[in-house]
Each structure stands twice: as structure tokens, then as C-alpha cells.
Amino acid sequence: MHHQICQDILGGFESYIEQFQMYTRLAPIHFKNRDWNGMQYIARSRMRLYKDIVKKTAEIIISESESLRHDHGTWISVKEAFRHCISDRKDKEIVETFYNSVCRKVLPNIAVSESIMFVQEGFDSCPIYDASHLFHHYPASMSLEQIIRQMMDDFAFDIPFIDKEADIQHLIETVKKVILSRYLPNEATQTQLFKSVFYRNKAAYLIGRTFLGGKWFPFIIPILHNEKGLFVDTLIFDPKIMGTIFSYTRSYFLVEVEIPSQFIAFLKAVLPYKDIHELYNAIGYNKHGKTELYRDFLNHLRQSTDQFEVAAGIKGMVMTVFTLPSYNMVFKLIKDNFDPPKTVTRAEVKKSYKLVSLHDRVGRMADTHEFEYFKLPRERFTDELIAELRTTTPSTVEITDREVIFQHLYTERRMIPLNIFLEEADTEEALAAVEEYGLSIKQLAAANIFPGDMLTKNFGVTRQRRVVFYDYDEIVFLTDCNFRFKPKAETFEQIYAPSPWYEIAPNDVFPEDFERFMIGREDLKSHFKQAHGDLFDPAYWQGIQKRILEGELVHAYPYPESIRFYPDRKV
């Protein structure tokens, strides 16, 4: 029985990995053909794979023995047998996560259990594999121009460049300006560039690093493809911008990976400020990213003493949110009852969060992880938070003397709520934030997302001072909205009517009303209106709808327009 269960799980995992890699290998084909709808399709399909195959694998195991749904003792033995089955695999950390997912699917309503799951890594560590074959190597004996030209040849993409020579000169000049103006090459200088290309939306990213002046300088080269051919869009050395490209607010890359831990180790060397779980997320292994996040959280919990508390900001009508001050994360629970005027259901809220997980987040929506039967120590909770949980989520939270057990919750990166940021920021910071606020709404709209409730309390400010939307209970596709001009009152009865005298459908939206609530600070309103006044015009929204319905996919650049080599070129 133990052997059969192990083989069932491994068979499911092999099916998952085979299809995962199949979708990933389609990315360069879609990039070459400029099939952007196809690119989004494979990204979504790859995201759906995991849950579907875990469910199918669990059903196979249950069909072989229904008793396994309640036989925890058998699963203790299965875990040990499975550990031996995967001991020689090079992707064992990903397999462990898959095992945990199947185990939780078979055993109903089970909390994390060290005895039957791989809560901590099942092996001391993943072996360190030689990574030299992962990248192109350009030694000190090559000149800057030779290196750049060789890079361009190494990544031909089988697509003609619009002006390859101009791209080469832009790259050379940027290196001279940003790096060689401060450091001189010597015999130790070398450059490494990933052979694997990172595809996302309409861009292909080359990622590498140069050793100069006794330290490594990571860099990213975005390459775009429009109707005239390929072109290098920019060269990025700024760690903050690179962090934005790999941000939790963006969709996952499609990139070929042979050994995940090996790839992550080298990627971590290139992007040292990124956490391991973020890097696993970034390359599409988001379920294992969730595992790494959970392990990191457990380690932090053991090493800290502060208490969980109600999160700062205006309390939500749909979600109860709490946090641990020393850890950069919030926990979000769906309330038992929603405050008026909210009319959505629990199922609709879950559907909205699922929509966000599958959609292109364009750098403006925070990634979330969903947990079930999540246990935390009771002693770490403030009395205020316990009271809040008993009031707002009693049906989904069990509170004992030792533990607090959550049937269902979401985790999300903690940010400063925009309304609080605007209250505390000086004028210069606040002006930049309201510009970001409007831009985030516009970029979401271009991605066919309408936030619904656009109050500043539903947006957060990241450490990079980017404004990100994080409250998804009213999110809908922009194309499902009906943006209307408000009818003009013509009679006395209409002018003084206590409620709208005209019919309003559930999907009607009146942008003219946005001006009343979007910005509270008087010294910022005029600036926001000047920068983003078109948000109050129904014609603006109708124009975006038209472009989307005509099949246009707007590319959201994850770096400033000001650093683009060809700002007028579109894709």
C-alpha cells in the first residue's frame, strides 16, 4: 500500500512537471510570433495545472482505499517511504511540496502536521550542483564591445533586429556611463549571462552579472518585439528597478529550468536582496514558494516574541486583517457577515482572489497565498485581536487555550495603506504618491481590471514607493462594466430627488462621481486632477474598453519610461 501511494504521487508529479515544462517551452514560440494572447493563455494554463493535477492524484489514491482519508497512521509510514523514493531526485524540494498538497487533499480538514508532511525540508539541504553550464561566460580578455556583440549573437531569437547596431551602441554607452565611469576593468573582470531567457507578457529578459571592482553588478536587458522586429529596450543596473521586475506584484516568468534549486541558487547570487520564496514564485513554482514562505515564517515565529495584532488602517467591510509587527506580511480573513453596503458573498470574494492569481497583475496587484487550517500559538495574540476574531470571524476561527486555528485565510505582503501614507507624508512625497495612485488605476484598466472600490484605503505603498491595489472583493473585468455619463436633472423633482431618479444597473459605473472620494487632502486634489483628470471622464474608460475588445494587449513596462532607449517604440 505504501509503495502504491508513493508511485501515485510521483506519477501525478511527473505529469505536472511534464505539462509545466511543455507550457514553458511554448513561450519563445509565442514571442517569436508576437502571439500575446497565446502568451497569456499558456501563463494562465500553467498556473491552473498544479491544483488540477493534485486533485486528480488525490482522487486516484482515495479510489484505491477510502480508509486513507482518515488513517493518519498510514500516512506517517507513507512519508518515510516517500522520502526514500525521492532521495536521488534533483527536484526533491518541489516534490515534497507536491506530496504535502496531495496529502492535505486526501485528508480532510487537516492542519499542518510534521509527522505526515514535510513541514521543514525533508533533507538537510539540496545538493549544490555545478552551475557553470547555466550561463554564457565572457572573460576579461574580451573588450566591452566584443562582449556586447557576442551577447547579441548568443541570443539571436531567430528574429531580425530593427537596428542591431544602434542597440549595441546604446548598451555600450550605458555600461560606460553607469559602471565604467566608476570602476576600471582588470584581469579579474568577467561577465555571466543566463542562457535561459525570462519571458513575460510582451518582453524577453536577459539576466546576468559583471564582476568589477571586487564585486558583482547584476543587470537585466529587456528585449521587445514589435511589428518591425526586435529591439533592446534598455539596460538596467539599478537594484530597485530589478526588484520591481521580480516583484510580488507581477505575474510569473516563463523560463526553462532544469534543476530548480540550482537555478534559484544562482538567481539568488544575481539578486541577493530577493527572498528565496520570492524567486521560486517568480519562475512559476509558486506552490513551493508558498512552502518556503511558510518555513521562513515558522523560523521567524520561533525567534521572535512580539504579538499578532489588528493591522493598521481603516477596518475593511469584508476582510479582517491582522499582522505580526516584526514580519513583513498580513493575514486576511473573510468575515462571517459583511458591513453595509457590501453585498458580495464569501464565494464571490474567493472567486475574486482566484481571478487575481491567474491574471496579469501588471505590477499593481499584490500576490497572495491561500492557507487552510492554519495554526498559530494563542499566547502570541493580543486581547484586542482575539476579540476582533470572535466578533467578525467566529465560524471560521477556533480559539483554544493553546492555539488559534484558521479554517481559511490569505497572506499578502504588508504595505503602508495609501490613506495613512497621505496623512503622514510631506507634500513632495504625497504628490508623487497620488500620481502613482492614478497610474496604478490606469494600468489595471489597461489589463482589463476595474478595482471597484477605489478608495485610497484599498491601495498600499511599497518600500519602492509604488502604489499597489490589495483589496479584491469588488474586482471585476473592465469589459463587464458599463461606464455612463450621469443624466442631467431637468425638473424640480429630479434636482431635489433624495435618490437617483434614473435607473442604475448593477454594472453601471459613473466616473464623474470619482472626483468626490478619490483624494481627501485638499492640497493634493488639484494636482491629482491635473495628472489624472481623465479618470473622471466616462469616455476615457469607454476608450480603454474598446481597445481591449478589439484585442489590444497593453504592455506595462516594469521600469521607468525615462530609461527606455526608444521611448516612442510600442509593442
**H or E segment to which residue 231 belongs:** strand 229-232
Report d(CA 458, CA 240) in Å as an integer: 24
Query: Residue 501 carries which DSSP code?
Result: S
- 150 Cβ neighbours under 8 A, 6+ residues apart: 136, 138, 142
What is d(CA 544, CA 445) in angstroms, rounded to the nearest whole number?
7
Per the CB < 8 A criterion, the answer to whether 165 and 173 are in contact is: no
Residue type, 63: S
Q: State how far the Cα of 470 lies from the Cα of 323, in Å rounded to an integer.
A: 15
- How far apart are alpha carbons 230 and 34 in whole angstroms? 11
Residue 568 burial class via C-beta count within 10 angstroms: exposed 0-12, middle 13-18, buried 19 and up: exposed
Confirm if 423 and 383 have CB atoms less than 8 A apart: no
Q: CB–CB of 65/58 below 8 Å?
A: no
Q: Do the strands 319-323 and 309-310 form a parallel or antiparallel pair, or are they unpaired?
A: antiparallel
Phi/psi at 157 (5° precision): 65, 0
Separation CA 95–CA 17 (nearest Å) = 10
- Cβ atoms of residues 456 and 437 within 8 Å: yes
CB atoms within 10 A of CB 392: 20
What is the phi/psi pair of residue 481, to 5°? -90, 155
Taking the CA atoms of the chain, what radius of gyration do you get in angstroms?
A: 26
Tell me 68's DSSP state. Answer: G
How many degrees, rounded to 5, is the angle at CA 149 between CA 146 and CA 155?
135
- Residue 517 C-alpha from the chain's centroid: 28
Q: How many CB atoms lie within 10 A of CB 215?
A: 9
Active site residue ranges: 367
